[in-house]
Chains A and B, each alone.
Chain A
Amino acid sequence: MATYATGLQVEPLTIPFPAPAHLKHAIARLHSVTKRYENTTALDNVTLNLYPGEVVALLGPNGAGKTTAVRLLLGLIAPTSGSVRVMGRDPRDASARTGIGAMLQITRVPETLKVREHIDWFRSYYPTPLPAGEIVRIAKLEGLENKLYGKLSGGQRQRVLFGLALAGNPDLIFLDEPTVGMDIESRRGLWEQIRWLASQSKTVLLTTHYLEEADALASRVVVIDKGRVIAEGTPAQIKQRVSGRRIRCITELDEEFLMALPSVVKVERDREAVIVTAHEAELVVREMLLSDVTLRGLEISAPGLEDAFLALTGKNQPTN
């Protein structure tokens, strides 16, 4: 076990993700994929399987390799080594793309066409597209059909891009940081749409650096950092990776005393309060209350995905 400066302990790195029997055939997979650019390694021996009907969040800080993974799966780039398969085929093969939809970053579509025209245009690329009316309804574009793309607000533009991702009635949808730069209302709106996709048993790969987003949407989270997969599991499993709870209170007890209590791994000061991290919080709190009758402002919290993420990505230096 490694202990990080947060005082939270991280369990050994591999949590085997048990694939349910009926989901054994991956709809898309990266197998031992390494992607190297001239002097940087964007992905380092990454294996990632997407199973039908799941929403997977690829979570990681900027530059972790999330977009590279999506671009590989879309066949926009080729791996340096390893194999990429989408629906059993090489995604660089156009016929493999007929069942895929994508929403990419920094996409600006031509501003001089109307929403309706963009939808009609993109639908023509697919042999069995969704009806235009369906796309408008799902992407919540009612009333905007005859507006030029250039006249839309940021949130509306994202909805158009979301609509284009659905144009071909895809089974597999890639959403690369879909909510970046969105206001809270638009973000919640898109979350609802992603949940709708999940309810239609579409497979969704979502990249994000918002932990909240991964937690809210994903059935499985793959944490990636510096081109490597460092953890994989349900949001709950990822959170469990970080053991210990945080006890925050205002007390006269000194730090040495607190540190000596059973199972305490860390004591830190936060203004007038003290934060104690311990594995057996109940025991520690009982001792503290008995020793200090003036103790007040007691709060006990479990580590969130945020703490797990920080611990996993090693943003705090390890203190071995």
Chain B
Amino acid sequence: MSNRTVSQRPNGQNQGKICQFKLVLLGESAVGKSSLVLRFVKGQFHEFQESTIGAAFLTQTVCLDDTTVKFEIWDTAGQERYHSLAPMYYRGAQAAIVVYDITNQDTFGRAKTWVKELQRQASPNIVIALAGNKTDLANKRSVEYEEASQYAEENALLFMETSAKTAMNVNDIFLAIAKKLPKNDGNVGNGLTSPGSRRLGDADGGSRMSSGCCK
């Protein structure tokens, strides 16, 4: 349903500006992080998506009016013991999607922990979206929409319930993030990455937002 709102792969025909953003996906194991990415990037869904080891990196481009937004997506492993790697991936990220499974209350609790960690340790201007995934399994729902929605509001998060399986709200959530990200001159680039645009080791994410992600 949402495919039409996103035009993918502009092939350089777009005359407007190009912005590049680093986005990280976090959340408990098996909530559907990789499935959301696969749906967004390739339009595919696998019933049994292989577990992600360490992290995976993919890119996808969306068009917003006259701006092309290129997402550099870092899809992380969900298992607790890979948690300590996460800072390496969210450091310097301009956006994060924290994912939980609407059929599993524990994963919602874990999502809240991720949000807290991001608020404390990620770049202060990071745009955080909360995704309640697996709405196709609504008959097994254990996290109410209102509960998550209220939590998101209190924490100033974007919030959507999604389904990687049916594609519901998948493109929309990325698009909503793209809309919220600052597309000032500092973020405009030629689509090529300069080394300075992505300083993973740089803890000072906030000032970089204003100095720009693409030069």
A and B assemble together: no
Residues of B within 8 A of A (CB): none
Which residues of chain A have a CB within 8 Å of any CB of chain B?
A: none
